[in-house]
Amino acid sequence: MKKAAAAEPWREPLLGPCACSQLRRTSRAVSALYDQYLASAGLTVTQYAVLVTIGRAGTIQRTQLAGKLGMERTTLTRNLRPLERDGLVAEMPGEDRRERLVALSEPGRARLDEGFECWQKAQSAFLEGFGKDRLEGLRQILASAAAAAASTVSRT
């Protein structure tokens, strides 16, 4: 068996466990918590994030929205589709006829209000288990991790 392990360095990498895999596992667990609470408003945490970001902006270009959410534009399009289908988000022309803006519809604003109540419960539940001070520290660590990843990607 020792010979197989030496020939397969991925079994026990010298650099330790994969940071990306751990972040993704954590993200899925936290997302599941928020999804559980937001389900009563008929939203997922991703849909809630899209609605709240649009709501804060008033109207916003899709490219800007994708940037604020940290998503590829094609991923944003997939996430907007059910919100548009359900009449929660409306598209409108911008100043330039090539420009398309998205905004909340009245039903979208009502769903966001309902979702906010659910989000508050999810946030409270998370903070109860994790702690407010620890969350602030985590936010700083995650911002640093994102910056490190972005600077590394730009160098490759």
Tally of domains in the chain: 1
Cβ atoms 62, 69 nearer than 8 A = no
Q: Has residue 10 been placed in a domain?
A: no
User: Which range of residues forms the domain containing residue 103?
Assistant: 43-127
Q: Has residue 12 been placed in a domain?
A: no
Q: What dihedral angle (degrees, nearest 10) is formed by the CA atoms of 67, 45, 43, 57? A: -30
Could you tell me the CATH number of the domain that includes residue 67?
1.10.10.10
The predicted model scores a pTM of 0.87
Give the pLDDT of the chain (156 residues) as one tens digit per residue: 455 556 898 988 999 899 999 999 999 999 999 999 999 999 999 999 999 999 999 999 999 999 999 999 999 999 999 999 999 999 988 888 778 899 999 999 999 999 999 999 999 999 999 999 999 999 999 999 999 998 987 665
* Tokens of residue 133, six digits: 């001070």
